[in-house]
Amino acid sequence: MSETGIGATVLRREDRRFISGRGNYVDDVNRPGQVYAHFVRSPHAHADVKSIDTTAAAAADGVVAVLTGADVAADGLGGLPVGWGITSQDGSPMIEPPWPIIAQDRVRYVGEAVAVVIAATRNQAKDAAELVAVDYNPLPAIISTQDSIKDGVPQVWDDAKHNICFDWGFGDADATNDAFAKASHVTTVDLVNQRLIPNAIEPRSSVADFDSSTGEMTLWCTSQGPHAVRLLLGAFVLQQPEHKFRVVSPDVGGGFGSKIYPYAEYATCCWAARRLGVPVKWTAERSESFLTDAHGRDHITKAELALDGDGRFLGLRVSTIANMGAYLSAFAPLIPTYLYATLFAGQYTTPAIFAEVKAVFTNTTPVDAYRGAGRPEATFMLERLIDAAAKEVGVDPVDIRRRNFIAPEAFPYQTPVALLYDSGNYGAALDKALELSDYAGFEARRKASEAAGKLRGIGISTPIEATGAAPSAIAGQLGARAGLYESAEIRFNATGNVTVFSGSHSHGQGHATSFAQVVSDKLGVPYENIEIVEGDTGRVQMGMGTFGSRSLSVGGSAIVKASEKIIEKGKKIAAHLLEASVDDIEFSGGNFAVKGTDKSVNIAEVAFTAYVPHNYPHFTGDPEADKNALEPGLDEQAFFDPLNFNFPYGAYVCEVEVDPDTGVTEVARFTAIDDVGNVINPMIVHGQIQGGVVQGIGQALLENGVYDQGSGQLLSGSYMDYTMPRADNVPNIDSDLTITPCPMNPLGVKGCGEMGTIGSPPAVINAIIDALSGYGVRHLDMPATPQRVWSAIREARPAA
Amino acid sequence: MEIKGEYRIPAPRETVWQALNDADVLRECIPGCESLEKVSDTELTATVKAKVGPVSAKFSGAVTLEDLNPPESYRIAGEGKGGVAGFAKGGAVVHLADDGGETILTYEADAKVGGKIAQIGSRLIQGTARKLADQFFRNFAEKVAPGSTQGENAA
């Protein structure tokens, strides 16, 4: 292993730029003559828009234009598209309501745009927005996920009876019911997976510039996948042809899923720039981010587990209501279906599984993928249910998991919920977690806490996740309206350095470093001679972007494929230079050598020869002589569409200390063992996992997107009320890895970006319930705030 | 949300009732009131400047007097739009009881907000509404019977 190749801990080269304030974010992009957009947003959760008077705003200082939904309609713009279709159990398609980029006639959540003011400066746009007079007729709103399907509640869409977008079934209902009929014990839990608000450190932003002389639009926007934005906004909303539409997402400060989607504000900037002939810029304020970034989670679930007399799982039955918000965000239908119920087998051999998911509309901000996207909800359900079952049947939580693990020799393993698991050794990860966490020493630590007046608890979770969604053909059958490949181009320059163009996008994942490590390793080019280019449809050939922990396994594999093509061509050039047969050329460590000789040529010389082809196998026109002829240049492109998802897994152990007088929970220890297959850069992998664990602890203890149930006002709409995890909320996280290479891609890697967020919430909650078990507490909803923990203790404690 | 208060005003009930229906008195007593114009005996238009936590806004809208039961009780209700700050609406049911030539005024107020003012200041609404209601009735008692404010916010 070289110091900068695969497996090396290389400091992230991009961090110098970021920590010295020299990143280039969308808000840093300024175009000559640009003007600023400010959106007028509905203060009502549900209302008819009776009229909008823009006269005073249009006459205000600096105002260029005030545009409303009527202008959107008049210009014939399309609505925001949905990228995945779901079919209900009765065979009917999901309800797909229109979503204009500015509301027309009716608003359906607080924060929905009703007008946009465009002015010379940001402050002029804001001041003029105050003058837009909107006359609303407020309507009753439905907010609660639970109540949304009840009779007589307000309806968000006329087509969606009982507010149901789709009612989806998955798995084998009959086999599952049979399993419950023969069970010796059934455990039931009712769970809430609360609404989360993403909170990327960089707010969303866009700048659009339209060149009327060429008809070319350039959009800079905070996206995790600029090619997808180009396709979706160009084709569905703006009618801006792809070949005349460039989308650039430069440095992006965190996404967590919320920056996948083609947002209305980006489209509005493009439309206004085209209409007004000036560049238009918008950057969200934090308050806007809270209201308009797609939210995450928001499930209500009843889950039942059937067990035999030995604590083995016979069947699993799950019924979930998933809140979509007021409109269907781009991938919203996918999250509580194929990214959720397909994970219900977990790491276990449960033979029969059935899931029912009702997706519902409410008068709230649309909900879509948020770090983990369906898999945290699945894992929380399963790992909480198993712990509850273990308590009920009197089996240790570790033992009940071991009894049901899929054995290491059973791979590839077909689950009853469609997925074919690639590889794994679940017992080994759990062993390592128990050892690293000193599980055996817990009782002594518990007694020490008890002596100090604290309640100590320990919780386990053994999560699995499916990353690098694939393959495109199967996804298409299941409702995907896009492909799931990734592309890469490796371009050698004449002087031997390399530019790599990847369709992935880095917004904190460290691609500039880890992708360069892959290329350095595969091609033997010094690490510092490799540049990674992403996030620009004008430079990068094609891309699907970054989501679902796919960058390395799919995007990295495309890079490997392209490097193989480079080597293949390089061998032919080297064979010519070395006057040998191509079959006798071996490539290793950057050198092409003739087998069994000391004759070799470095790849840099080969690249130089390819661009300065003086001594080169040129075409001559003679078919026989041209069999080994080559075009000049060393520049290869590849697409990779994996055969399957890959399945990282882990074993998490959380130890908490609860103060029974205040309900304050401290995460005392946290151990995360993950198996993400082969590792390119251990430091980046640990960083991803630890960041994910912190985000998961945030969900377990602190974060909650809360609406006023009557009025639909977002109550946790600022950092005064929406509590993000901070350094003092988390312990030093002990993370380590086991390595089971993935057979589904040439790097043998699995995704690591979401594991921490998926595995940690149930470990934390299981630990708190363990700590409170002396009081008979069996259930606690997230976030386990001091108030909730204190109340649970008070309610459970027998009256004194 | 329950906001209640009680004031003893050393003036006859009829005088207090007249004042409660006097636009000039109301204008002077509503905290932050910049204008109040009578449209009819029970309808007025108003502009009020208010601050909830970090959000300050000028609300313009209507004030209405409802459920009139002279000289005993009515409900005074207001609804205003504050531009991008959102909207606010609220009111108070006011009771007047005769007590030996003096008047005991009791009120029960409520408030609702929407938009940015709710997003940023939801936890502060109760306190702000309580403060504004108390200020209004304190101003009112002082106006009707100067030097009389022995009032107490009973909430």
List the alpha helices (DSSP H) in A579-639. 603-611
Q: What per-residue confidence (pLDDT) applies to B150?
A: 53
Terminal CA-to-CA distance of chain A, rounded, Å? 66
Question: Which residue in chain B is spatially nearest to A109 when comparing CA positions?
Answer: B115
Contacts of B59 in chain A (CB under 8 A): none
Q: What per-residue confidence (pLDDT) applies to B117?
A: 87
Nearest CB neighbour to A717, from listed B83, B87, B120: B120
Mean pLDDT for chain A?
96
Q: What per-residue confidence (pLDDT) applies to B104?
A: 95
Which DSSP category does A483 fall into?
-
Does residue B127 belong to the interface with chain A, where contact is any CB pair within 8 Å? no
CB contact under 8 A, A130 and B83: yes
Q: What per-residue confidence (pLDDT) applies to B154?
A: 42
Using CB atoms within 10 A of its CB, is residue A731 exposed (0-12), middle (13-18) or buried (19+)? middle
Phi and psi at residue A80, to the nearest 5°:
-70, 130
Tens digit of pLDDT for each residue in B29-65? 999 999 999 999 999 999 999 888 777 888 999 999 9
- The residue of A713, A715, A716, A722 whose CB has the most chain B CBs within 10 angstroms, and thus the best one to mutate to test that interface, is A713
* Contact status, residue A137 vs residue B90, Cβ threshold 8 Å: no
Nearest CB neighbour to A718, from listed B84, B86, B120: B120
CB contact under 8 A, B119 and A44: no
**Portion 87-126 of B in contact with A at CB < 8 A:** 87, 112-116, 118-120, 122-123
Tens digit of pLDDT for each residue in A178-221? 999 999 999 999 999 999 999 999 999 999 999 999 999 999 99
- The residue of A136, A716, A719, A720 whose CB has the most chain B CBs within 10 angstroms, and thus the best one to mutate to test that interface, is A720
Rounded to two decimals, the ipTM of the complex is 0.83
Residue span of the structural domain in which B7 resides: 3-144
Evaluate whether residue B152 is within a structural domain.
no
Residue B155: pLDDT band with limits 50, 70, 90: very low
How far are the Cα atoms of A28, A699, A763 from residue A790, in angstroms, in the given order?
Answer: 47, 18, 20
Mean pLDDT of A262-267: 98
Evaluate whether residue B102 is within a structural domain.
yes
How far are the Cα atoms of A247, A592, A602, A618, A748 from residue A629, in angstroms, in the given order?
Answer: 38, 18, 20, 5, 34
Residue A678: pLDDT band with limits 50, 70, 90: very high
Q: What per-residue confidence (pLDDT) applies to B1?
A: 55
DSSP string, B23-40: HHHHHHHSTTEEEEEESS
Evaluate whether residue B153 is within a structural domain.
no
Among candidates A699, A722, A705, which has minimal Cα distance to A783? A699
Terminal CA-to-CA distance of chain B, rounded, Å? 11
Tens digit of pLDDT for each residue in A58-70? 999 999 999 999 9
Evaluate whether residue B149 is within a structural domain.
no
Q: What per-residue confidence (pLDDT) applies to B151?
A: 47
Tens digit of pLDDT for each residue in A775-800? 999 999 999 999 999 999 999 876 44
Q: What per-residue confidence (pLDDT) applies to B126?
A: 82
Same fold, A296-469+643-796 and A485-640: yes
Nearest CB neighbour to B123, from listed A129, A133, A720: A720
Q: Which residues pair with A302 in a beta bridge?
A: A190, A319
Give the C-alpha separation, A772 to A767, whole Å: 9
Measured between CA atoms, how close is A288 to chain B, in angstroms?
9
Does residue B86 belong to the interface with chain A, where contact is any CB pair within 8 Å? yes
In the sheet that A486-492 helps form, which strands lie side by side, from edge to edge?
A: A530-533, A498-502, A486-492, A635-640
> In chain A, which residues touch B (CB < 8 A)?
40-44, 110, 126, 129-131, 133, 287, 290-291, 708, 711, 713-715, 717-718, 720-721
Coil, helix or strand at residue A655: strand
Determine what percent of chain B is predicted with pLDDT higher than 70. Answer: 94
Mean pLDDT of A84-112: 97
Mean pLDDT of B91-103: 94
Give the C-alpha separation, A79 to A85, whole Å: 16
Tens digit of pLDDT for each residue in A569-579? 999 999 999 99
CATH class, range A296-469+643-796: alpha beta
- In this predicted structure, the answer to whether residue A700 has a pLDDT above a threshold of 70 is yes
- In this predicted structure, the answer to whether residue A251 has a pLDDT above a threshold of 60 is yes
Q: Which residues contact A429 (CB under 8 A, 6 or more apart)?
A: A462, A649, A650, A651, A673, A674, A675, A738
CB contact under 8 A, B118 and A711: yes
Measured between CA atoms, how close is A41 to chain B, in angstroms?
7
Query: Sign of the C-alpha dihedral, residues A363, A366, A371, A376?
Result: positive
Evaluate whether residue B21 is within a structural domain.
yes
Does residue B56 belong to the interface with chain A, where contact is any CB pair within 8 Å? no
- Looking at domain A26-139+215-254+259-280, its CATH architecture is Alpha-Beta Complex (3.90)
- In this predicted structure, the answer to whether residue A423 has a pLDDT above a threshold of 70 is yes
CB contact under 8 A, B118 and A715: yes
Determine what percent of chain A is predicted with pLDDT higher than 70. Answer: 100
- In this predicted structure, the answer to whether residue A242 has a pLDDT above a threshold of 50 is yes
Helix (H), strand (E) at residue A302: strand A296-307
Q: What per-residue confidence (pLDDT) applies to A500?
A: 98
Instruction: Locate the domains of chain A by residue range.
Output: 26-139+215-254+259-280, 296-469+643-796, 485-640
Length of chain A: 800
Tell how strand A665-675 and strand A733-737 pair up: parallel
Q: Which residues contact A340 (CB under 8 A, 6 or more apart)?
A: A320, A322, A355, A357, A374, A375, A377, A378
CATH number at residue B78: 3.30.530.20
Mean pLDDT of A31-46: 97
- Within chain A, how many helices (H) and strands (E) appear? 19, 28
Using CB atoms within 10 A of its CB, is residue B92 exposed (0-12), middle (13-18) or buried (19+)? buried
Indicate the fold that domain A485-640 takes in CATH: Aldehyde Oxidoreductase; domain 4 (3.30.365)
Mean pLDDT of A252-264: 97
Evaluate whether residue B154 is within a structural domain.
no
- In this predicted structure, the answer to whether residue A767 has a pLDDT above a threshold of 80 is yes
Give the C-alpha separation, B58 to A430, whole Å: 61
Measured between CA atoms, how close is A42 to chain B, in angstroms?
7
> Cis (ω within 30 of 0) for the bond into A471?
yes
Measured between CA atoms, how close is B113 to chain A, in angstroms?
8
Residue B153: pLDDT band with limits 50, 70, 90: very low
DSSP string, A146-190: TGGGSTTS--S-SSSGGGEEEEEEEE-HHHHHHHHHT-SEEEEEE
Mean pLDDT of A458-486: 92
Beta strands in chain B (DSSP E): 3-9, 33-38, 43-52, 55-69, 73-81, 87-99, 102-114
Give the C-alpha separation, A167 to A792, whole Å: 34
Give the C-alpha separation, B142 to B72, whole Å: 20
- In this predicted structure, the answer to whether residue B152 has a pLDDT above a threshold of 60 is no
Q: What per-residue confidence (pLDDT) applies to A800?
A: 45
Q: What per-residue confidence (pLDDT) applies to A1?
A: 65
Using CB atoms within 10 A of its CB, is residue A780 exposed (0-12), middle (13-18) or buried (19+)? buried
CB contact under 8 A, A291 and B119: yes
> How many domains does the structure of chain B reveal?
1
Helix (H), strand (E) at residue A431: helix A426-436
Q: What per-residue confidence (pLDDT) applies to B122?
A: 75
Beta strands in A700-751 (DSSP E): 733-737
* Contact status, residue A20 vs residue A693, Cβ threshold 8 Å: no
- The residue of A718, A722, A723, A787 whose CB has the most chain B CBs within 10 angstroms, and thus the best one to mutate to test that interface, is A718
